[in-house]
Chain A
């Protein structure tokens, strides 16, 4: 009985000690958070004046103050462009942050640390980080590869175009992330995308076509239309979509021919593209496919026909897809 009472007392004491430790920890964390907020409020005016070119950053800061200042500038890096943005990059370059993050990206054992370094390098936007980020596309952790791809987009690094499309082809980085990164790179990506139209790997050709449709010029239509005769159906469908976005009547005959491709997804892509181009000569073939083709194609053809001529589609609306397309077009 005495042993039991002793055990209860010991447990109670242990609980009290644990509770006290938790309270102490909470108090310490709150005090740290308050100190951080106070430092942010104290240092932000200096950061703002620095970013407007009015004053140098204060000298003689403690390590904690320097860390908070770097956080403040990192936040501004995501929200500003122009000369202020360039000053932030220069600050991080001059204070060795690029080297530190590259070191972490290459050597940190924990994947989340490498991914965080890749993210920060994207925010810093120093061209000196490009090689390290390109190497990180081969990291064994998906979150690191994805963060590196995003950051290469933020750096607007044209050299990243081919490796990014290779990463999509290998499914090592999500397609949406690579698409975002390539669009961020923008027009400087176009020469590499043009070269990739004849890459050996069909996934790379298709990827290049998808982005070229968004970034390219009407003059690219001829090279893109040539891909409608590609051996890969994925490439032919991507070429049709790209032509719909690039526009231009010169691609009309090739798209019309693709409406009779043996693969339904290519026919559907061609129908969608013809609807975007809105050439009236496509109306009758589209109405025919809307009445008689498989669901996927008929649906795309019906919507395209309604986009070209709503009244003609309404008069011809004999099938369910045409009726639906007409109704949807009337709502728009």
Chain B
């Protein structure tokens, strides 16, 4: 990844409206965005499309965001890809569970799309 704005971001959320908004925001900012509607599709696409970053909802059908992060960390190809969790679960132990699973950042819903973009930039900038 030579240019941050060309980075590929995989966005996984089963809520169509949230996913569409995040995809729009990141695409408009120059990112190559891949979208998934559940954890299983996200896991498959993460293997096929080698994203530079994943933005994952926690409460997804089939595989939730925590489990998906754990599985990504267990695969050599995706073990170092940063993950931002986006979720309505905001209890302290939910946050720590996300970090224990291997997430790099955590954004609570309701969320500010500008803040999400700033975090995406920050996480990609740290790589």
Which A residues are closer than 8 A to B by beta carbons?
44-45, 48-49, 51-52, 54, 72, 75-76, 78-85
Q: Are B112 and A48 within 8 A (Cβ)?
A: no
| A82 engages B115 (CB within 8 Å) | yes
Whether the pair A48, B110 counts as a contact (CB closer than 8 A) is no
Number of interface residues of B (CB under 8 A): 16
Determine if B28 and A83 form an interchain contact, defined as CB atoms under 8 angstroms apart.
no
Contact between A85 and B110, CB atoms less than 8 A apart: yes
Q: Which A-chain residue is minimally distant from B21 (CB atoms)?
A: A48
Contacts A52-B24, A52-B25; A84 near B112 (Cβ below 8 A): yes
Complex interface: chain A residues within 8 A of B24 (CB): 45, 48-49, 52
Please report the C-alpha to C-alpha distance between residue A51 and residue B17 in the assembled complex, in whole angstroms: 12
Q: SS class of chain A's interface: helix, strand, loop or mixed?
A: helix
CA distance A186 to B74 in the complex (A): 41
Instruction: Tell me the dominant secondary structure on chain B's binding face.
Output: helix
Q: Which residues of A contact B100 (CB under 8 A)?
A: none
Q: Is B30 an interface residue (CB 8 A)?
A: no
- Nearest A residue (CB) for B17: A75
- Nearest Cβ distance between residue A157 and chain B, in whole angstroms? 18
Contact B17 A44 (CB under 8 A): yes
Q: Is B18 an interface residue (CB 8 A)?
A: yes
CA gap between A76 and B114 in the complex, in Å = 15
Q: Which residues of A contact B114 (CB under 8 A)?
A: 82-83
Quick check: is B20 within 8 A (CB to CB) of the other chain?
Answer: yes
A78 — nearest CB in chain B belongs to which residue? B110
16 further A-B pairs in the complex, CB-CB below 8 A; given A79-B18, A84-B112: A44-B20, A45-B20, A48-B20, A48-B21, A52-B25, A52-B113, A72-B17, A75-B17, A76-B21, A80-B21, A80-B110, A80-B113, A82-B112, A82-B115, A85-B110, A85-B112
From B16, which residue of chain A is reached at the shortest CB distance? A44
Are the CB atoms of A80 and B20 closer together than 8 Å? no
Distance of A207 from chain B, by nearest CB (Å): 23
- Which of B25, B28, B110 sits near A79, CB closer than 8 Å? B110
Report, nearest first, the 3 A-B pairs whose CB atoms are least far apart: A82-B112, A81-B110, A81-B112
Residues of B within 8 A of A54 (CB): 28
Across the two chains, which residue of chain B brings its CB closest to A83?
B114
A51 to chain B, nearest CB (A): 7
- Of A72, A76, A83, A84, chain B has the most CB atoms within 10 Å of the CB of A84
Q: Tell me the minimal C-beta distance from B15 to chain A in angstroms.
A: 8
In the complex the two chains form, is A79's CB within 8 Å of B111's CB?
A: yes
* B115: nearest chain-A partner, CB-CB: A82
> Which residue of chain A has its CB nearest to the CB of B18?
A79
Q: Confirm or deny: B109 has a beta carbon within 8 angstroms of a beta carbon on chain A.
A: yes
Inside 8 A of B113's CB, which chain A residues have their CB? 51-52, 80, 82, 84
A81's contact among B15, B25, B111, by CB below 8 Å, is which? B111
Residues of B within 8 A of A51 (CB): 21, 113
Q: Is the CB of A79 within 8 A of B109?
A: yes
Chain A nearest CB from B119 CB (Å) reads 13
Residues of B within 8 A of A79 (CB): 15, 17-18, 109-111
C-alpha gap A19/B113 in the complex (Å): 50
| Nearest CB on B from A180, distance (A) | 13
Q: Which residues of B contact A45 (CB under 8 A)?
A: 20, 24
Provide the B98-125 mask, 1 if CB < 8 A to any CB of A, else 0.
Answer: 0000000000011111110000000000
